[in-house]
Every structure is written in structure tokens, then in C-alpha cells.
Amino acid sequence: MVRTVKFAGRDFMPWSLSPMAGITNAPFRALCREFAMAGSDSCQKKSQIADLKIEPGMFVNEMVAARALGTHISKARAHMRFDSSESFRSAQLYCKEPEWAYNAAKVIAEENLADHIDLNFGCPVKKVTSGGGGSAIPLKPDLLRGIIKGVVEGVKDGQIDDTLIPVSAKFRIGVDPEHIHYLRTAEIAIEEGCKLLTLHARTTAQFYSGEANWAAIKKLRELAPKDILVYGNGDIWGVDDFRRMQEETGCNGVAIGRGVMGRPWLFQSLATGESYRPNLGEVVEIMLKHCKNLIDFIDNEDPKMKDNLGIRAFRANIGPYLKGFPVGSEKKVQIMKAGTFEQLREELNKLDFSAPYPESVEDKPRGRTKSLRKVVVPYGWLD
């Protein structure tokens, strides 16, 4: 039986969906949550999860810029929208300045926009680190401390009842082999009030390449106080990886990012303990449902505009869903060119629905796997 974890006064299944820009929007989170619910029979009493005595996991939204949210920019507000099925709303903030971290957290608390705030100190993208954000922040301990303190204080000052919004942090083991700082980062995060730590066991220089260093997750779990939850992140592609990470590191839970791209049913596999292998027909059905939910979720009164925006938002998912299936490059191009939902349905219906789930990609890396790269941070940042 899968053990639950206690967080924010609730019991959770021990896995979370990691934020991914353009992927983990509300419709995708709801789909992942639905699959986790579907697999709940074999791991817990289904009635307990249905009654929300046990949350089927933690599903974190896309990264939201604190400055944009604090100044009420509409795009940031759009990223803070949640599906009606999300009984526990997890928001991830991207902050570079303590004052804006405070302002954004206060807005979230005052307006009851989320039930949990996760802080992003792990993003390796050049345009983020070059400005001193994401995974560049832990290199500056005082800045790191100020941001976390700002969020914790903002939540306290903005609270509308006696329930404080819990704060967590996600970070990498370091920037490169010469700058490994995850234990110091964890210490500061705990001192400033974080109750959950998620460690992506790679350096920024690794980006998403090579193997994750699970030994670092084990060390963090051994050194962190028992009342602090430690989640491991990196190289979780299937049920066996989930079990192995928990056994080898002792982590409380597992965070999954690229492993669930085009594969929201992975959460059902985790719940049942057995890999779910849909054939191409079932995958097409899931794709159409995902796309339709995206279209319905878009805040626009013009049906044609909703359809167009929904299709454009869905395109990033097409490749991951079809990976490994016998769908030629020309056919994929035609599918990607679909400009309306009906055109997408028409192209997908031309596929061989009987094609079995491809063993060649099962429990294998998905998404970006680029090689080592030079980390770009502001001038003098490493002095």
C-alpha cells in the first residue's frame, strides 16, 4: 500500500506534478488528477479520496512571476486560474526581489487565490538565470533568505482567516560541480518557514541531461528535520523509478515533470502500482479530451478565437502524446497544422487506433535532454 504524506493539515498521495511552462495549465492538471483518482482503488479506499479526506496528489500550476501578479497584470492572473476539480490549489511563484515576493504572497492570501505557494529556485533557462532568477538565486544566500522571508511574511499579513498558506521551495543541487549549494539552500528555506523541499537532483549546467544524483536526495532527507517533507525530482519515467527513488533515498514523495508529458495516465500507474499502457485509439481519445478542455477553459467569448487559442496551446503536447507510435513525420506535420478542433479530430481519426503502446518509449526519458551547457548569470554574480 502506498503511504500518504501529511501537508497543510491534509493527507496526500506521495507524488506531485512539477510546473512546466505551457504544459501544466489547469486543464492538464485536472486530467492528471483525474487519472490519479481513477487508480485510487488499489492503493486506498476510493471513498476516502472521493470525500477529499485524501488528496490524490499535489498538482502545481505553471510558474507565475511575482512582480506581474503583484501589479495585477492580466496574464499572471490567467496563470493563477484553477480547475473546479482542484480542491487543493498549488501556485508556484518566480521571484527575484524580496519586496515583490512579499507583495505577491500578500495578494494571494488576501484574495484567496491559492492554498499553497511553491517557490521556484530551480529554473535553468538562460533568460531566467541571466537576470539573476531561478537556479541562480541560491548562489546569493541573503537574497534567497529575503525572498522566502518576504513570501512567508506576505502570507501572514494577507491572511483572511486563521489558516496560514504553507510555503515550499524547489531547487537544484547546485549551479555546476564547483558550486554545489543544496544543503545550504535547504537550511535557509527551513529556517525561514518552508515545510516542504523539492530537490531536482541535477545542476543548472546539466539542464535536463545526464542522470539525476539521487544520492543528494538521500543526504537531504537524512539531514533535514523529520517534520520537513523532502520530495525527490529527476528521472522518474515509470512505476519502477518511483518505487526505486523512495527505497534508495527515503524521500517522502516524488515530483514528476517531463515523465508525465504526453502521459497524464502515469499518475494512474503510480496509484495502481502497475503500468497503464493505452493503445493509440485510447491515446487519441485522451488527446481530444485534453484539447477540448483547453478550449473550454480559455477566457474568450468568441468561439472561433477560443478554438484557435486552444489548438495553439495544445500543439506542444502533440509530439509527446504520439512519441513512439507508428505515426510518420508527414502525418505529424498534418496534425500540427490543424487550425480547429474539428480539423484536429479529423487528422487524428486517420491513425491506426489498434497500434499498441510502444515498448521503445515506455519508462524512457521524455522531453528535453540536451547536453551540458554554460550557465549564464549576471556579471560578477559568482564573485
Active site residues: 123
Please spell the DSSP secondary structure of 162-188, one letter per residue.
SPPPPEEEEEEEEEETTEE-HHHHHHH
Nearest-5° Cα angle at 291, 287 to 293: 120
CA–CA dist 348, 315 (Å, integer): 13
CA–CA dist 112, 158 (Å, integer): 9
**Could you give the C-alpha distances from 279 to 8, 55, 114, 215, 347, in angstroms and in order?**
38, 28, 36, 36, 17
Residues in the chain: 383
Angle between helices 303-322 and 329-337 (to 10 degrees): 160
CA–CA dist 107, 71 (Å, integer): 10
Considering only CA atoms, which of 287, 290, 293 is closest in space to residue 348?
287
Q: Is-contact 118 112, C-beta < 8 A?
A: no
Nine-digit cell at 339?
A: 487550425
Question: Which segments of the chain are extended strands (E)?
Answer: 5-7, 10-12, 15-17, 54-55, 58-65, 90-94, 116-121, 167-176, 179-180, 196-203, 229-233, 253-256
SS3 28: helix
For the purposes of burial, counting CB atoms within 10 Å of the CB of 275, is it exposed (0-12), middle (13-18) or buried (19 or more)? Answer: middle
As a dihedral over the C-alpha atoms of residue 211, residue 283, residue 335, residue 308, rounded to 10 degrees, the angle is: -100
Nine-digit cell at 256?
A: 514528476
Q: Is-contact 135 124, C-beta < 8 A?
A: yes
CA–CA dist 173, 364 (Å, integer): 23
